[in-house]
């Protein structure tokens, strides 16, 4: 099989894009570590970190990264009902309910984090 097998049809392509969102997950975890490191090193180091985030390269990277993470989130919550089966007595909780609750949780958690960061 040639290397470009995943460009042969849309399902393969979506699969590989979904799997590659993990690269952004890893990079953002490391970027967060750098940010904490800069905070630990003092105001000058932190100011340098913040000014670097304003460069066009980082803005572009973060825009693509946000799109990748939203795709990861949507595909992740879609997959959750197949791995998480919840029953109430005899009835199985429908997939849409489980996925829907994850979306509600996602919104709530995002709102709390935004509230904490914006009120600082």
Positions that interact with another protein (CB under 8 A): 1, 3, 6, 16, 19-20, 22-23, 25-26, 28-30, 32-33, 35-37, 39-40, 43, 46-47, 50, 53-54, 58-59, 62-63, 65-66, 69-70, 72-73, 76-77, 83, 105-106, 109-110, 113-114, 116-118, 120
Comparing CB distances to another protein, the nearer of 53 and 90 is 53
Going from the C-alpha of 76 to that of each of 38, 71, 72, the distances in angstroms are: 32, 8, 6
**Closest distance of CB 67 from another protein, Å:** 10
Going from the C-alpha of 119 to that of each of 40, 48, 112, the distances in angstroms are: 22, 23, 11
**Closest distance of CB 106 from another protein, Å:** 5
Comparing CB distances to another protein, the nearer of 64 and 89 is 64
Contact predicate 85/92, CB 8 Å? yes
Side-chain-side CA neighbours of residue 115 (13 Å): 6
């Amino acid at each position: 099989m040639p290397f470009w097998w995943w460009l042969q049809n849309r399902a393969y392509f979506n699969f590989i894009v979904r799997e590659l969102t993990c690269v952004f997950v890893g990079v953002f975890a490391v970027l967060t570590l750098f940010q904490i490191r800069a905070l630990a090193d003092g105001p000058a180091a932190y100011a340098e970190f913040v000014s670097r985030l304003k460069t066009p390269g980082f803005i572009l990277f973060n825009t693509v990264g946000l799109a990748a993470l939203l795709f990861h989130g949507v595909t992740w919550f879609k997959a959750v009902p197949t791995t998480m089966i919840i029953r109430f007595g005899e009835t199985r909780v429908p997939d849409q309910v489980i996925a829907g609750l994850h979306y509600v949780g996602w919104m709530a958690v995002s709102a709390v984090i935004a509230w904490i960061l914006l009120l600082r």
